[in-house]
Amino acid sequence: MNNETTTNQPVSFTTQTQYPLPSQKFMIPTTWRRYHLSQLVNKALGLEKSIPFDFLVRGEILRSTLSEWCAEHGVGEEETLEIEYIESVLPPQKMSEFPHESWVSSVSCGLSSHFLTGAYDGYLRAFDLSQNVILNAPLHTAPITSFAILPSENTTDMDGNTTYTVVTASHDLTAQISEITLPAIGSASSSKVLASLHLHTAPVSSIAARGTQLLTSSWDGLIGLWDTSIPASDEVPEPESVGAERKKRRKIQKDEAKPKRKAPVSVLKSHMGRVSKVSWTSASTAASCGFDSTVRLWDVENSLCTRTISASEKPFLDFAITPNGQSALAVSTDRSMTMYDLRITDLSAATASFMHPATPSCVAVSQDPASHQVVTGAYDGVVRVWDVRSTKAAVAVFKAWGGDGKKILSVDWQRDVVAVGGEGGMDVWKVQGGAGAGPEIQVNNVKKPSA
């Protein structure tokens, strides 16, 4: 630092993390990089355990020296730079790999000790942390597009078997409510379809559950609202145009616990095209996005579309609501992820745009309310971790399945774990999202063949 040519740049630091610095101007040598700045902040804070920080200069993560950045942006030496520091994202680490024979359309790491996947072969699979398949349930004959775990209805019996209620959406135009039992160790798992939801005339694209209510979205542009109660009898009659053989079979199966055919509580109609994703935002409100380039907010109780955010020629594939509920991040086929502010009611709600080199198919946000991070999976097999404050480049990038360009169809991010599902099966990565320390997950990198 005693270099004669070293020039100093006035800098003030801001942060939204829990480590604020007193507002004060620092004279920083322009040869400094992120590492030096991070050390400076750590020293100034006097932290016992050093925390790596990343630095955002005008919405851009500092990747070079300060002088290079200044030269690139034409900032003079006398201008005070306001630098925001965020906790650095450690390079994501691959935790385990779960190969599948078919494409995985939906993943969940919401359960503390299990990973669930729904695949294009119609199977719902459950894995334990040692990559063993503990459940392989052929719930559908057609590809499962999406599934959700009902939050409150898991019970654990004396053997340690845990029973969950899972709802799945499929290409076979129905969604199903199923009960799966995940055994503790050794014992067999079981699954049972409780009811099938009949509304849609096109493949069901997504399903969302909250409390006792379900929302399904379909390619036919409808969103169905359901409850989770299992009716005693079929609410929807069996189609009649099937052959006599079927009738016979039905008779045979009648004794068995045949899934009851459920009808929706209400139907939310507003989308002009395929609805690609529906999601709850609160107990009575929901949001959906579709190929008609809209993100719609719903008042579920009254079946009303409260707000429509229209974009131009952006068929949306997926969206996610930030934990604070203030903005939505929607990915579209024009290779962009757009952030929409849900609080603003005028048309120009788009606040930021994140460009991808390939079609981003799925998006997930960190559940930490303080976090600003979001992951997207794209058809080029790359998962990108974004900080919504830095639109230019992703904070971290990692390639699923060794990076051979297999499509990613689904991501899920719970705590520090990002599950990636797609053409190559499922990958689980450790991505340090927010500050909150997730549950300790035994990382077992030993690869085992799946069952």
Partner 1 sequence: MANPNPKKTSVKRKHTEKDDAPAVAPVTLKLSGLEMLTDDEDGDDYNPEDDTDDGEVDEFPEIDAASDSEEDDEDGDDEDEDESLSEDEEDEEEEEEGSTEEDSEVESDYHIFPKAKTVISDITGQPKKVYPEIEPDYDSDSSTEEATNRVGDVPMHWYDDMPHIGYDINGKRVLRPARGDELDKFLATVDDPSAWTSAFDKTSQEEKPLSSEELDIIKRLYAGENPDENYDPYEPMVEWFTGKGKEEIMPLSAAPEPKRRWVRSKWEKQKIMKIVRAIRAGRIVGQKPKTTSKYEVYSIWSSEPSTSAPPALPAPKRALPTNAESYNPPEEYLMTEGERKEWESKDAEDRERDFMPQKFTSLRLVPAYDQFIKERFNRQLDLYLAPRIQRTKLNIDPTSLIPKLPSPSSLRPFPNYKSLNIRHPKGRARCVSISPDGNWAASGDEDGVVSLWEVNVGCEVKRWKFEGKIGSIEWAPRQDVSYFAVGVEEAIHFLIPPNVDSTTLAQTHALLAPSALPSAGPTPSPVKWTSTSVSSWSNDKPILSLTLPPSSGVPTQLQWHKKGDYFASVSTGGATQNAVWIHQLSKRHSQAPFRKIKGAVQLVLFHPTMPHFFVATQQYVRLYNLAEQKLIKTLMPGIRWISCMDVHPSGDHLIVGGYDRKLCWFDLELSEKPYKVLKYHSRAIRSLHFHPKYPLFASASDDGSIQIFHSRVYNDLMTDPLIVPLKILRGHQITDGLGVLQVKWNPKQPWLASAGADGTVAVWCS
Task: Rule CB under 8 A: choose which of 361, 376, 414, 432 binds partner 1.
Answer: 361
Nearer to partner 1, 67 or 293 (CB): 293
| Residues 183-222: x where in contact with partner 1 by CB under 8 A, - otherwise, as a string | ------------------xxx---------------x---
Closest CA to 414 of 184, 211, 84, 151: 151
Judge contact between 451 and 442, C-beta under 8 A.
Answer: no
Does residue number 311 form part of the binding site for partner 1 (CB under 8 A)? no
Sequence-distant (6+) residues with CB within 8 A of 182 are: 111, 114, 126, 134, 135, 161, 162, 163, 164, 189
CB of 220 to partner 1, least distance (A): 8
CB of 246 to partner 1, least distance (A): 9
Judge contact between 376 and 410, C-beta under 8 A.
Answer: no
Interactions with partner 1, residue window 97-136 (CB under 8 A): 103, 105, 120
Does residue number 153 form part of the binding site for partner 1 (CB under 8 A)? no
Alpha helices by DSSP H, listed for 204-359, are 244-253
Take residue 239 and report the two structure tokens written for it: 């189609």
The DSSP bridge pattern shows strands 425-430 and 396-399 to be unpaired
Beta-bridge partner residues of 12? 25, 82
CB of 229 to partner 1, least distance (A): 25
The one-letter amino acid code at 202 reads A
Task: Rule CB under 8 A: choose which of 231, 315, 323, 325 binds partner 1.
Answer: 315
Does residue number 291 form part of the binding site for partner 1 (CB under 8 A)? yes
Task: Rule CB under 8 A: choose which of 110, 143, 381, 433 binds partner 1.
Answer: 143
CA dihedral for 321, 172, 249, 238, sign (positive or negative)? positive
Size of the site for partner 1 (CB under 8 A): 33
Q: Which helix (H) or strand (E) is 36 found in, with range?
A: helix 34-45
Site stretch for partner 1 (CB under 8 A), options 182-190, 280-288, 310-318, 413-421: 310-318
Residues lying near partner 1 in the complex (CB under 8 A) = 103, 105, 120, 142-143, 171-173, 201-203, 219, 239, 241, 243-245, 273-274, 291, 313, 315, 317, 333-335, 358-359, 361, 379, 407, 409, 423
